Amino acid sequence: MNLNYKKIMRNYWGPVILGLFLFLWGVLTICEFAFGLSLRTIPRNVFTWLSVGAMITFFVWLNIRTHRIAQQNKPVWIRIVMRCVPPASIILILTLIMVTALVSILSYRPEHVIEKNGYTMVARVHSFLDEYVYYYLYKGPLFYGQNMGYEYYGSGGNDPLSQTPVPEPKRWSFYDLDGHVIENGPAIENEAIAETEPPLETKELDVAVIENRENELVFDISMDDFIESYNSLFFRDKGKEYLQSKSEWRKFTYDDAIHSDHETSQFEFSEDERIWSQPTITVYVPTNADYIQEITVNFDEHGYSESFYAQFEELCFYTLKVFFPDMEDEQIVALYEEANHLGNMNVFLNEDGYKKGCVPCVLYHKDGVGIYPYFAIGEWVHLCIIPVTQEIIDDYAQKGVEIREIE
């Protein structure tokens, strides 16, 4: 059977044009996913507005068709419905135009093509409240590829790369094609800090376990104590602090928590929240007192890179060092390496994800501090630190958890 394409276009030009753009969007989405590409700002906005034009064309065609139907000898209810189509179409078209215009304005990112570290890159400027420039591998006039690094220029809403002269970034980090860090800073600023500022006094905590609310164990230290101790240890080795103050962490409040039946605040820290796969630290705090229920160090296994995993291990090291200040560094390294290895060897199903009532494969403990790994399919890797008593340890043992006392 031969198709009469001219007749199809004459009668169904609206759906054909809309269907063509939906098909192109599908092909574009598949290509972006398969090859790790993203449309650049101007090509994406142009394509978006052409798609809006295709939808408007479809509505015009629909109104013409419904007008013809309304003129025919059809049942009354059909003619009423057909007469409602034009005003509804006008409202939809105006809404579509306004929403698309707003999204185009808010999503616009100035772009610059530059040479850096031996690569041609697309520099995309994000400057809503703070001025960040993210660098991506150049893939031609239409696309950009994988993330190659970022620069932070401080608070503001301008394009730092369009200024003359271009200001110096306050912080930056760049990677090679395999995700290895090849440059980060500010190295000079850190050296100046080390030379001009007296070293922070290392704050070693004497951590004890107490009961806060009913059936809720906590460490008798505050989140501020943890941050101060962590930063003092980090400063001793790196010449700078790492964790920001509690007020800068993202905060969520829930009716209960992994190890509590009571309302709990969950604080999460990431060195750069704009990088989704950046390792994080989460601290669970009861809402009625300034104690710590639990701390987890988290790694996105699905966005694995060697640099991110090295950062994850660094977070594990200094977090454990806060709780075991007298333990040798080599022993702490061996502890988190062994725990994380067992976590990766004992992966749980997605329905057994990290939630209330979950049972780990192994529990390490020393002086009331319990440590266990947890990794479920589709989730992040967690190294978890919780307060434990002998009763808690025995309960885990009865559930089949392997118990290992830290010597």
Looking at residue 120, its pLDDT comes to 94
Per-residue CA distances from 272 to 38, 151, 264, 275, 384 (Å): 21, 11, 24, 6, 22
Share of the chain above pLDDT 90, in %: 54
Looking at residue 368, its pLDDT comes to 95
pLDDT confidence band for 186 (50 / 70 / 90)? low
Do the beta carbons of residue 314 and residue 285 sit within 8 Å?
Answer: no
Overall average pLDDT of the 63-77 stretch: 73
pLDDT at 191 over 60: no
Of the listed ranges 156-165, 180-189, 361-370, the one predicted with least confidence: 180-189
Looking at residue 3, its pLDDT comes to 58
Of the listed ranges 109-118, 122-131, 195-204, the one predicted with least confidence: 195-204
pLDDT at 396 over 50: yes
Phi, psi at residue 340, to the nearest 5°?
Answer: -65, -35
pTM of the predicted model as reported, rounded to 2 decimal places:
0.57
d(CA 285, CA 266): 6
What tokens were used for 325? 């200040």
Looking at residue 149, its pLDDT comes to 85
DSSP secondary structure letters along 107-132: T---EEEEEETTEEEEEEEE-SSEEE
Do the beta carbons of residue 246 and residue 236 sit within 8 Å?
Answer: no
Q: Tens digit of pLDDT for each residue in 232-258?
A: 999 988 888 899 999 999 999 999 999
Overall average pLDDT of the 162-168 stretch: 89
Q: What angle do CA 132, 134, 148 make, to 5 degrees?
A: 145
Looking at residue 196, its pLDDT comes to 45
Overall average pLDDT of the 267-291 stretch: 91
pLDDT at 1 over 80: no
Helix and strand counts by DSSP (H, E) for the chain = 8, 17
Looking at residue 261, its pLDDT comes to 95
